[in-house]
Every structure is written in C-alpha cells, then in structure tokens.
Chain A
Amino acid sequence: MSARARLAAFAAVAVLVVVAVATYLLAARADRTAATDGAGSGRTAPAGVMPTGPRMLFRHMGTGADYGRLAAVPLDDPGGPRRLLADSCDRVHGTREHVLCVAPAEGVVPTWTAEVRSGSGEPVPLPLAGTPSRARLAPDGSYAATTTFVAGDSYAQGGFSTRTVVTRLRDGRSTDLEEFALVVDGDEVSPADRNYWGVTFAGDGDTFYVTVAFDRTTYLARGSLTSRRVETLRTDAECPSLSPDGTRVAYKKLGDRAPGDWRLAVLDLATGEETVLAERRGVDDQVEWLDDATVVYGLPGEGARAGEADVWAVPADGTGEPTLLVEQAWSPAVVR
C-alpha cells in the first residue's frame, strides 16, 4: 500500500469509528428516554411529596431517565409502587424530619455535594473531600456523618485514604474524626496511617460506632462525641450499623477471603457473641436495620443488569435465607 492509500484507509477507519460511536451514544440516549416514557410509568407513582408513616428511602436504580432518583416505599409494602422524589442521590439516609442526600455536583469535574434537608429551615451542607462512600444521620437528627475516600493514593500497599466528618446540624459545625483521641487496649495511640469510615449513631446523642483502620488492620470502635474519644472493640468489622434497640451491631467482615469479598455478621454488644448471617454472597454496603430482627442491604445486579442493584433482607440471627425486598434500589434507609 502506498502512503496515500494508507492515509485514505486510516481516514475511512476514523470516519467509521466516529460515526459508530455517535450512533451508539444517540441510541443509548434514546433508549433511556423510551424506558422512562414506557415501562417506567406503570411501576412508579407520580413524582411528588415525601410519603408519611414508616417508610424506606432509597436510590432508584432502574435504567432510564429516573436512574439515581431518590425514591420511597411504605414499610408495609416494600415491593409495591415506589414514589419518586425530585432529588437525585448517590447515597441517602433519613429520619422522620431529615433527609441526607449525597449527589454529584453539576459540572464536568467529578465533585459531590451532601446536604441534610428538613421540613423546616435551610438545608445544612456537609463537607466532602473526594468520592463519598458512606452517609448516616443520628436517629434524633442531631448529627450527620459522611465518609469520603480521598484517593487510592499509593501503588504500594493498595493504599487509600478516607476522611470521616461528623457535623452537628444545629450549627453546622464539623469535626474530622482523626482529631479524636484513639484508644487501643487502654492505651492512647496516634498512628499516622489511621483511617475512619462508616459511622453509625446511637440514640443518646453522644455514642457512635465506626470502623478505624491502621497498620493494615480494621477495627470496630465505639466513640463519644462529647469526650472526643474513640476506643477499639474488636478486629475485622467494617461499616457498622447499630440495631434500633441499641443492643447489637451489624457489619461486614473479611475473614480469610480475598479483598472485597465481605460477609455480614452481627455482634451482641452485651455478650460479645458474633453471629454470621445467612447471606452467602459478598456484600459491600453499610447495612440498615429493617426492624430489630432483620437487616437490609444493597447488592449489584448481575449480567445484563450490571448497572442496577437490588435491596435484599436477611434475618439478623443467622437463620433463614436472604429475600429480595426492593428491586432496582440501592442505599436503603429505614424511617420508622
């Protein structure tokens, strides 16, 4: 082939590739619109106000233009029609009065916003540094916590860095948990590589549970907001979630499995007894308690439903089997 022929061949390939991609993208866009106009309307109630009464908030994960919208179902009919709300949230948590919504900010650069909205008063913005991963509200709405991961920062050690910030909603004051005193086996330590993630608040307005990791070990820890102290309880327990009655903590643990392949377990805080739950699949979520006997969590869809996720439920005592609770949903938050 002469140089001219090669150039012509390249030009032909370039035109083909560009036209093919443009066609694909436009078709994908059209598909989304069609999905909303058609199938979507049958299964969703018209967009509207937040339902009252016991409910579950979540991120709607059905493919279509409503992908990522905040949605709600009544707790007595979680499989029934969902009500889509105006906001889009990546992660959501709620109390009767408040909704914590983490959402990508408008614009080309990947930044996020997180704010707590309530029926009365201005929304309270929460500080975010990096990609948000966990978000929780205290049951009484006094505090909010967010975890962001700042970066996979080193190519040694599979390193990453998280930042967990607790914000008092009354005045918007924020504290980075790394400023708290850290106590391990009775001794105060300050390892420079400590990372916190996954806060869960107790109902007393002071106690919280959180994951802290340093020196390649993860710990479940209990903290106090007033004394600004965090004390480790046990190893290999991440993203804790306190039961409504405050007696147990559910979390994910790795055991000797490969990184990323967690299983769910529940710890009885009084006896220290740990129960592994009946869910055999790998779960990476901060679970939520449906009631004192059941936990719920998100699992990504498989195969053709790769971009979607469903919310599953499993008994908290290690018995039974996981059941599908809400289809096309992620980041469940139970409001009682």
Chain B
Amino acid sequence: MYLSDRPRPQAGNAGGARGPSQGTRRVGSTVVLMGLVSLLTDISSEAVSAVLPLYLTAVVGLSPLAYGVVDGLYHGVSALVRILGGWLSDRADRPKWVAFAGYGLSALTKLALLPAQGFAAVSAVITVDRLGKGIRTAPRDAIIAASAPEESLGRAFGVHRALDTLGAALGPLVAFGVLVLVPGDYAAVFVTSFAAALLGLALLGLVVPDVRPRRGRPVPDGARTTAPVRPPAPPSWRRLADPSMRRLVAAAGLLGLLTISDGFLYLSLQARDDLAAQYFPLLFVGTNLAYFALAVPLGRLADRLGRARVLVGGHLFLLGAYVVAGGAVPGLAGTLTCLVLLGAFYAATDGVLPALTSTLVPAPVRATGIATTQTVVAVARFASSLLFGALWVGLGRGPAVLAVAGALALVVPLAWWLLRDVRAAGTPREVAP
C-alpha cells in the first residue's frame, strides 16, 4: 500500500488520466485508509453491541422491554445529527476533523460504559455514541468522494463498505474472544473496544490526509506559510436544490418507505423456521458476509452501468428477499436465500447512494448532500418500521411482508422513471465497450 505523501491531483482529472483500461487498478490509498478506520471503529462498536443485550439483562439487570428501548435509541439518534455533521464539514471545508470529532466522541463512550450503572446512565452513554456516529458519517463519505476519480466512485465506496462490514463481522468475535479469556468480565470487553476505537482514531488523525474538497487537494503541512491559496468559494446551499438532486431524494425516500428493517425480516424467518430461531444471532452475520463479498463487484457494476440503475435495480434483491421471507421458499434454503438477497441489496445501495449523490452535487456542498440523501432514507425507513408494525398487527406476518413486496414492485418502476435524467447524467462517459 502506498500512502498519500504525494499530492493528489483533483479527483476528476486523475480519473481521466487513468482511463477505463486501468479499471482494475486499486482504489486510492485514502479510500483504503478510511476503510481501515471504519473497520477498527466497527470492531469497537459491534463488540459492544454484541455483548450489550447480555450485559444489560444479565449484569445491569434490565428486562427485555428496557433493552428494546435502549436498542431504539441506539438506532434512532444518529439520523438527526447527520445533516449537522455534513453541514459543519462543508462549512469548515475540514471533513477529516469533523469526522475525527465524531469518531472521538464514540471512542470516549466505550470508556464511559465502565462506570455507567442503571438504565438512565446506559441510555445516555449510548445516545452520545450514536451522536458521534451521526456526526462522522457524512464527512467520512465526503473524504471518500474527494479521494477517488469520479468514474470509479462506486468501486471506492464498495471497497470502503466491504472493509466496514468486515469490521462489523469481526467485532462480535473479538467480544466473545475476550469473554472466553476472562469470563463474565464485561469491563474487559469495553476496554478492548475502546482500544480498537483509539487505533482507528489514531489512524485517521495521523495518517489520513487532510482532504479539502473545496480546494481540491490536501494541504501539505506548512503550506499556510507559503503563498496564500486562492480562498475557496463559500458553500451555497441553493446548489443542493438542483432538480436531479430533488428527484433522487424523492426516489430514495419512496424506496426507503418500503424497506422493512432487517429485524422484522429475521423475525419473519424465525417465526416459520425453528432453525432460524435457534441461530437468530447468526442471521445478521450471514447478511454481512454476503454484503462483504458483493460490495466491490456491485460498486464496480454501478460504475459501468450507471449508479442510478444499480441503486434502483438493487431493490429487486430486496423484493426477492421479501418474497422468500413471506413464505415462498421454506426451510434452510429459504433462510439462506433471504440473507444473500439482503446482503446483495445492501451492496447495491448503501455505498452506491453516496457515490451517486457525490456526482449530483458540487464539491463544496457534497457532505451536506450526502447527509441529506442518507437522512431521507433513514427517516423513510423509520416511518417504514412504524407502518410495517401496523401492517404486521393487521394482516399477520407473511401477508404483511407480501403486501410490502407488492408495493415495492410498483415503486421500483416509479423510481426508475423519476431518475430518468439522473440515469443519463450519472452514466460514465467512457462506458462504451
């Protein structure tokens, strides 16, 4: 791996110079470094997530209900501050240090779990952890977008998401490894988790270049003493209101409304399959494995075919997962198929959405743009959980899943139509062969 001690040319130019024939070249070192930062951070957070239900119920003494509330906090908070993180990042033109603040906040919470006692304290600590995640997500994606040539953005995000997912898979293994070494010592898990977060933080702070998207290149140390750089144009939020951006937000929101949370799908699987019930904790590992394996191939496919096409088309994997979970394929085969389809859905959408957003909004407001589409999706999925909860109560498990599948089958062509201009514009110019 070569590190970014050489100045990086402006992203767009670098891509042109490489040309499509070098499509198999590695992505930039900054992308890989950000992937490793995320890998370490995900080991840290997933190690804690994996033991948290155990810790809360067995040691702190919370019941399932209280755990559900904590879990809700865990996922709900971050979407709210995400736009704030993106805005700060664009405003200061310092995505690295805004991301650093977010990673740092989450790292500190791992230590704060040590003395945290009782429901209120644990809730507060987890809320702060999610605030950190919300702050760092958009600047992190802005760094990735600024560090890869435009025609291989899909692959760059794919590489990052693959490393990120690998960390998520390793986290629980690290946690249970520690518990095998020192049984029952949850403090040891938190300390180990803090150490992993600290490593990620050091890697980000010391090795990742200080990307300045508005200036187009990282600032070398000591540059401020030499000739002043041309002052960057201040971000203009109106540039976010571009029609194609608005259509992307609409399409992503519509699709998000029909994205049932994984937990509900896993519950549908376990409700009809005793094996899935027994191995419930493993279901998300299966999804992550598929995501890990498919993130780079589908990112590259998005670069070749057009990101809007893969983003919308990826929801067909989700449709497939619904049909399987709704009862079409019984038993172990059905469970495995559903997990692979879910992983493929994430691989085709999670990294492709920021890649597509990056091409639609200008660099000075890129982090805000990425935060906007991601938040719209998160809020839509939150609404979807409420809606689906009601459907589940009204129709029962299988019919509810199939009803959402039917709605999704109608919305996918609608989203395809909404993005007709974006599809054309987002298709790389050199896609000829």
Contact = CB atoms under 8 A, between A and B. Distances in A.
Interface stretch (B71-79, B133-141, B251-259, B349-357): B71-79
A25 B182 CA distance: 8
A108 B176 contact: yes
A21 B53 contact: no
A32 B180 CA distance: 13
Q: What is the predominant secondary structure among interface residues of chain B facing chain A? A: helix
Nearest to B277: A129
A192 interface: yes
Contact of B117 (A128, A154, A306, A309): A306
A9 B386 CA distance: 48
A153 B266 contact: yes
A302 interface: yes
Interface string B62-96: 11111111111011100000000000000000000
B430 interface: no
Contacts of A315: none
Given A14-B199, A29-B181, A260 B71 contact: no
Interface string A60-91: 00010101100000000000000000000010
A170 interface: no
B206 A150 contact: no
B66 A260 contact: yes
Nearest to B378: A155
B421 interface: no
A7 B207 contact: yes
B228 interface: no
A303 B278 CA distance: 35
Nearest to A154: B385
Contact of B75 (A25, A109, A155, A162): A155
A21 B194 CA distance: 9
A71 to B, nearest CB: 15
A300 B278 contact: no
A279 interface: no
Interface in B244-284: 261, 263-264, 266-267, 270, 274, 277-282
Contacts of A260: 62-63, 65-66, 69, 119
B280 A17 contact: no
Interface in B15-68: 50, 53-54, 57-68
A247 to B, nearest CB: 26
B393 interface: yes
Contact of B270 (A29, A109, A150, A262): A150
Nearest to A162: B64
Contact of B63 (A4, A129, A133, A215): A133
B183 interface: yes
A282 B76 CA distance: 26
Contact of B203 (A4, A10, A215): A10
A48 interface: no
A197 interface: yes
A323 to B, nearest CB: 19
A60 to B, nearest CB: 11
B186 interface: yes
B76 A129 contact: no
Contact of B192 (A10, A21, A259): A21
B292 interface: no
B221 interface: yes
Interface in A136-160: 149-160
| Among B62, B115, B263: residue with most chain A CB under 10 A | B263
Interface string B338-375: 00000000000000000000000000000000000000
A300 B121 CA distance: 14
Contact of B206 (A10, A151, A261): A10
A128 B125 CA distance: 31
B278 A128 contact: yes
Nearest to A29: B182
B184 A68 contact: yes
Contact of B187 (A67, A150, A307): A307
Contact of A152 (B53, B181, B277, B389): B53
Given A158-B71, A192-B394, 15 more contacts: A10-B203, A90-B58, A108-B173, A110-B54, A127-B274, A130-B281, A152-B67, A155-B75, A197-B64, A259-B66, A300-B61, A302-B117, A306-B117, A307-B184, A309-B59
Interface of A: 1-4, 6-7, 9-10, 13-14, 17-18, 20-21, 24-25, 28-29, 32, 63, 65, 67-68, 90, 108-111, 127-131, 133, 149-163, 191-193, 197, 213, 215, 238-239, 258-262, 282, 284-285, 298-300, 302-303, 306-307, 309
A-B residue pairs, 7 tightest by C-beta:
A152-B71, A160-B68, A260-B66, A3-B5, A155-B75, A153-B263, A129-B277
28 contacts: A3-B3, A4-B5, A13-B206, A14-B199, A24-B191, A28-B185, A32-B183, A67-B183, A129-B270, A129-B277, A133-B64, A149-B57, A150-B267, A151-B263, A152-B68, A153-B261, A154-B263, A157-B385, A158-B69, A159-B68, A159-B385, A197-B64, A258-B119, A260-B63, A261-B119, A282-B118, A298-B61, A306-B115
